[in-house]
Structure 1
Amino acid sequence: MNSISENIKRYLSKLPKHVQLVAVSKTKPTSEILEAYNAGQRIFGENKVQELTEKHEELPKDIEWHMIGHLQRNKVKYIAPFVSLIHAVDSLKLLKEINKQAAKNNRKITCLLQVKIAKEDSKFGLSEEDLSNILTPEEIQKLPYVNIIGLMGMATFTNNEEQVADEFASLKKIFDQQTSKFPNLKILSMGMSNDYNIAITQGSTMVRIGSAIFGNRNYKN
């Protein structure tokens, strides 16, 4: 097993230049995040608000913290002062709450809209229709403290690579349709440790890799 720093250096060198690496550090101790940081990684993803806020307080301030998990509206206020990017925005109500908390902190918060492309019921995300209803000049004008910069999606957890590729391709198609109307959509976040290569082939510009960098997670905590 390679060290964390070796894994980071390997990914930073092998990923295409247009693809950003989010090192998913959920459940991992700050010592391991520091090892990745010292190897050159600056973007880290967390999926629990409490864990994210604690790590933000303890670790270097030039880290870009991404909230990649499902976010409840009542938790937005805790990350609003510092979060760099919220990946999984899956409702207009959540966007409005992010806008409200960003205004209180006098900052713009960047967001990705999560589109449901997987066949699994457990996955969150907007339908194409819901996405189109949010991405209108009228709605965006009502959210001056939110900056929507792209889309994200999660494929079905399956060994069927053709199905995964099809799901990612469907999101790329939606992304292309929306960027023709909203050119500030730059990021397409799709792909994790098990399927990032397929995601990049289908047009991903941001991958979320955890276990392939840090090793298997310990969920006993």
Structure 2
Amino acid sequence: MSVKENLAKIQADINEICGRVGRNPKEINIVAVTKYVSLETTEAALNAGLSHIGENRAEAAVQKWHALQNRGIWHFIGSLQTRKVKEITGKFDYLHSLDRLSLAKEVDKRLGDGQVMKCFVQVNVSKEESKSGLSPAEVIPFIKELVEYKGIQVVGLMTMAPFYKDPEQTRPVFQKLRELRDDVHSLKLEHAPCTELSMGMSNDYGIAVEEGATFIRIGSALVGRE
């Protein structure tokens, strides 16, 4: 199936889920995870009507960004080394993996005057050793410390659920992230409105949408792997 056909199927799934749980499908942003596919397939995603592009390797992503002449809204979705920050600032609109003060400091330093990076704080809800991110208990103290970095805006929280054959098993992870997002949002911090939830991938995006995801990161089910 083409990217356009895959997108139509995913959008139909989202529409059905939103109708069932009382959400507006327009609240759901589909991020096409193009890290494993070619420039041509990334361009096909944009041509299919997608605007959000997700990459996790700075050098390759920047090459695509230049080749596509700044089309789309770019998301850095993987672990980001501080030495790579300078490559993505000014090009990427969102960072989904903010998990340490040293990274926040470097992003803030590399941004131009008045520039802001929209950030998701990464939370390791499932406490898997193989995954990056803060523990739920660390999130609010960490976000409060970010106030000194004027270029950092915490728009929401991100997590990666464990892979289960039965996606229903991911529900507690997504529920926990939503509850934590609500706790941060209730603090009414100017630098951290924290209204968004980046959660759900190809195998579990349906459960994530049911639990409040506003950004879902879809790779293989949308653009395949090459």
Do the structures match in fold with TM over 0.5? yes
Write out aligned runs for 1:124-163 (5 A). 124-136=132-144, 139-163=145-169
Contact 1:9 1:40 (C-alpha < 8 Å) held by counterparts: no
The residue aligned with 1:75 is: 84
**Matched residue type, 2:40:** S
Q: Distance in 2 between matches of 1:135 and 1:119?
A: 19
Secondary structure in 1 matching 2:172: helix
Structure 2 counterpart of 1:197, which letter?
A: G
- Structure 1 segments of 4+ aligned residues over 4 angstroms from their partners: none
2:121 maps to 1:113: yes
Describe the SS at the equivalent of 2:111: helix
Q: Which residue of 2 aligns with 1:167?
A: 173
Consecutive unaligned residues in structure 2, runs of 5 or more:
15-24
1:123 to 127, 131, 135: 131
Contact 1:45 1:66 in 2 (8 A): yes
Amino acid at match of 1:135: I
Structure 1: distance between partners of 2:85 and 2:161: 25
Q: What per-residue deviation string (whole Å, max 9, x for no partner) do you get for residues 173-212 of structure 1? A: 1111111113621210000000000111111111000100
**Alpha-carbon shift at residue 36 of structure 1 (Å):** 1.5
1:207 pairs, out of 213, 216, 223, with 216
Q: 1:14 and 1:34 mapped to 2: Cα distance? A: 23
Q: Which moved more, 1:48-57 or 1:6-15?
A: 6-15
CA contact (8 A) 1:9 1:39 kept: no
Deviations 1:110-156 (A, max 9, x none): 111001012421111111232111222xx333111111111000111
> Quick one: distance in 1 between partners of 2:58 and 2:92?
10
Per the alignment, residue 59 of structure 1 pairs with 68
User: What letter is aligned with 1:27?
Assistant: Y
3-state SS in 2 of match to 1:54: helix
**TM-score, structure 2 normalization:** 0.88
Q: Which residue of structure 1 aligns with residue 6 of structure 2?
A: 7
Give the deviation of 1:51 after TM superposition. Answer: 1.1
Q: Distance in 2 between matches of 1:86 and 1:141?
A: 17
Identity among equivalent positions (%) equals 37
- Find the residue that maps to 1:17 and give its secondary structure: helix
